[in-house]
Structure 1
Amino acid sequence: MKTSDFDFYLPEELIAQTPLERRDASRLLTLDKHTGQTEHHHFYELPQFLRPGDCLVLNNSRVLPARLIGHRPTGGVCEVLLLTDKGEGLWECLVRPGKKLRPGAQVIFGEGQLTATVEGELSDGKRLVRFHYEGIFLEILEQLGKMPLPPYIKAELQDNERYQTVYSKVMGSAAAPTAGLHFTPELLQQIQNMGVDLCYVTLHVGLGTFRPVKAEDIQDHEMHSEFCQISQETADVINRTKARGGRVICVGTTSCRTVESFAAEDGTMTARSGWTNIFIYPGYRFKVLDALITNFHLPQSTLIMLVSALAGREHVLAAYEEAVREKYRFFSFGDAMFIGDVMPSKAENGEKPAK
């Protein structure tokens, strides 16, 4: 299967640059994974596609405000992007301008409450950077850092919390698990009140999630690795859901990749943690996931390959073409999809579901 098989035309103006004022006001396109039938809704209508006995699996990772703007002692502006914590104040980072930030270079952030020294040079232009500070590093980072927004978002984010889910808890991601950005506390409570269980996994999203697929044959693509974990409590909820015939609905491709990485062949779950580089594309047999809530993804990306594994490439590309025609908003701050065995919501009223 070729990477070009997952291409589609996307006008640049459909790439959402800012979040909507109300999280759950985004649009929701439902796609029946069996028939390819689509309907158009809003995200606050999601409960009508859920059933008592289902469970939602949400990724509670929190985005690190990992983009630091500083200056060298000579005054030149520079940028440091935190990638991997090596311990004791040492981080693997991307830096700009690279020519000015060689080993030995000093950087000052804010009014000097945080400083750094470049200690080493790695492959791919990365640097080992040692940070110097007093107090708690994450608190200083919350004060000085900016969100590492994806490269296709050009607008400056006014409120960092809009690039966090309302249930984010465990700091560590370089990018948001964006399918969860649509939920409000009120919507989550409404879902629980109708008899749907909520459970949480953690997968720390790496910048590799934005890395394009350069291989012509998708099987030649090497996936990036990301750290993830699942508690016994969450494993128990998923196992109970399966046992009673409910659906496991993953919120986002990150939640999907976590449960599919750790599930036994029969779909049962136990508490686990570790690194995953699972690559899901058409032909994959899902062990746990029954339905998926997700945003609209980049052409030729591993993420559109994942959703195609669930609903079929032809169904997914047809739905994407329809979303473009209907001017849905794409990517991180864009609209959402519900992909699964969708019960036509309008059939009960004698109306014909929209196609």
Structure 2
Amino acid sequence: MKVDLFDFDLPQERIALRPARPRDSARMLVVRGEGDFEDRVVRELPDLVRAGDVMVFNDTRVIPAQLEGRRGEAKIGATLHKRIDLRRWQAFIRNAKRVREGDELTFGGGVTAIAEERHEDGSLTLAFAGDEPVEILLERAGRMPLPPYIAGKRETDEQDKLDYQTMFAREDGAVAAPTAALHFTPELIAALDAAGVQRETLTLHVGAGTFLPVKADDTEDHRMHAEWGRIEPEVAARLNAARAAGGRIISVGTTSLRLLESAARDDGTIEPFEGDTAIFITPGYRFKAIDGLMTNFHLPKSTLFMLVSALMGLDRMQAAYAHAIENGYRFYSYGDSSLLLP
């Protein structure tokens, strides 16, 4: 499909630079397969799902993956993208033309790394020096990797260390937050529990590739960056049992959805999973594992807007986004939410 089909006009003032407070006070647009759109609030979620449904969260934790440093006298920036092993990460480099394989890069806090292999997408492998875990080095030298459409409008600050982390964050490794879950609070979880809604967690370490624009003219020519994920056997078993009992699997975020669909057989059975996924979902895809999706509002011509269009239909999502823009919804990572129920 032509990528231009997924374009739309978004006023810059619709881009949220800070989250709603409290988190569950964000607005939520309910989009069903047909009928009118519903303007709701996230804390009303227990009224919109059913007892026996399962909401699936991503428990990845965002690490301070943005680094500022030098190669000699040249200023460079690095955004870690994907772990390779205990000391090596694949990273996107700002001013990458000034960096050659074998160069030593110096960051804040005495953190250094050697530039190793250059990849086809322009990223480099960075091998961090020393014996300290890389996570400790990043806590000393790194910044939270806010999306470029936020970081380009204001400085990252201490508040972002809290705001850009979900209440489920447990497994270090993401360089972007699973933002749909940013709306959840302990009070909302308690209300969902009281309503008989189950919840499960999986892990998908979101990479910086999630922010990259689609440069191809046709979706068939776009290649997704791989991300590492895991679904434990007992989680897969409980999800399958809940669905067999008539419950719906509602993914909280596109990251959870992509991993669930990567782990699903053609008959919808969810298998345990551990490894990389580069699944790219566009209209025409047949969903196997999920029955609904809670997600924020995405960029024009992004792979994520393509995904929600695959779930609900392109015309339906174009109309939903037009409604959201007209009615003042806030977009992107710190923005409002939508609940998509085909």
| TM-score, normalised by the number of residues in structure 1 | 0.88
Partner of 1:26: 26
Q: Deviations over 1:92-147 (max 9, x none)?
A: 323333354334543433342x2233345444443333322343331231232111
Shift of 1:182: 0.7
Whether 1:47 and 2:8 are equivalent positions in the alignment is no
- SS of the aligned residue for 2:149 comes to coil
Shift of 1:200: 0.9
- SS of the aligned residue for 1:152 comes to helix
One-letter identity of the residue aligned with 1:248: I
Q: Is the 8 A contact 2:54 2:242 kept in 1?
A: yes
Shift of 1:227: 1.6
Partner of 2:309: 308
One-letter identity of the residue aligned with 1:54: D
Whether 1:150 and 2:147 are equivalent positions in the alignment is yes
Shifted more, 329-338 versus 304-313: the winner is 304-313
Q: Equivalent of 1:131, from 122, 128, 131?
A: 128
Q: Deviations over 1:266-316 (max 9, x none)?
A: 111221212222222222221121111000011122211211122111111
Q: Distance in 2 between matches of 1:218 and 1:320?
A: 21
Query: Does the C-alpha gap of structure 1 residues 204 and 184 become closer, same or farther in structure 2, counting only changes over 3 Å?
Result: same
Whether 1:101 and 2:99 are equivalent positions in the alignment is yes
Partner of 1:175: 176
Q: Is the 8 A contact 2:295 2:338 kept in 1?
A: yes
Partner of 1:92: 90
Whether 1:192 and 2:193 are equivalent positions in the alignment is yes
Larger Rg: 1 or 2? 1
Q: Distance in 1 between matches of 2:146 and 2:332?
A: 11
Shift of 1:88: 5.0
Query: Does the C-alpha gap of structure 1 residues 319 and 214 become closer, same or farther in structure 2, counting only changes over 3 Å?
Result: same
Q: Distance in 2 between matches of 1:277 and 1:79?
A: 25
Partner of 2:115: 118
Whether 1:293 and 2:294 are equivalent positions in the alignment is yes
Query: Does the C-alpha gap of structure 1 residues 36 and 157 become closer, same or farther in structure 2, counting only changes over 3 Å?
Result: farther
Partner of 1:222: 223
Q: Is the 8 A contact 1:102 1:120 kept in 2?
A: no
Shifted more, 210-219 versus 157-166: the winner is 210-219
- SS of the aligned residue for 2:76 comes to strand
Query: Does the C-alpha gap of structure 1 residues 111 and 64 become closer, same or farther in structure 2, counting only changes over 3 Å?
Result: closer
Query: Does the C-alpha gap of structure 1 residues 96 and 17 become closer, same or farther in structure 2, counting only changes over 3 Å?
Result: same
Give the number of equivalent residue pairs.
Answer: 338
Q: Distance in 2 between matches of 1:299 and 1:110?
A: 35
| TM-score, normalised by the number of residues in structure 2 | 0.91
Partner of 1:13: 13
Q: Deviations over 1:176-199 (max 9, x none)?
A: 111111111221122122211110
Query: Does the C-alpha gap of structure 1 residues 86 and 304 become closer, same or farther in structure 2, counting only changes over 3 Å?
Result: closer
- SS of the aligned residue for 1:87 comes to coil
Q: Distance in 2 between matches of 1:213 and 1:110?
A: 32
Q: Percent identity?
A: 46
Shift of 1:322: 0.6
Q: Distance in 1 between matches of 2:303 and 2:94?
A: 28
Partner of 1:352: none
Shifted more, 267-276 versus 293-302: the winner is 267-276
Q: Is the 8 A contact 1:4 1:216 kept in 2?
A: yes
Q: Is the 8 A contact 1:201 1:231 kept in 2?
A: yes
Shift of 1:333: 0.8
Partner of 2:234: 233
Shift of 1:73: 6.1
Query: Does the C-alpha gap of structure 1 residues 308 and 90 become closer, same or farther in structure 2, counting only changes over 3 Å?
Result: closer
One-letter identity of the residue aligned with 1:132: A
Q: Distance in 2 between matches of 1:288 and 1:137?
A: 35
Shifted more, 103-112 versus 312-321: the winner is 103-112
Q: Is the 8 A contact 2:67 2:79 kept in 1?
A: yes
CA RMSD of aligned residues (A): 2.1
Query: Does the C-alpha gap of structure 1 residues 268 and 141 become closer, same or farther in structure 2, counting only changes over 3 Å?
Result: same
Partner of 1:63: 62
Shifted more, 328-337 versus 136-145: the winner is 136-145
One-letter identity of the residue aligned with 1:129: L
Q: Is the 8 A contact 1:36 1:315 kept in 2?
A: no
Q: Distance in 1 between matches of 2:273 and 2:122?
A: 33
Query: Does the C-alpha gap of structure 1 residues 191 and 67 become closer, same or farther in structure 2, counting only changes over 3 Å?
Result: same
Partner of 2:76: 78
Q: Is the 8 A contact 1:201 1:255 kept in 2?
A: yes
Q: Distance in 2 between matches of 1:142 and 1:185?
A: 26
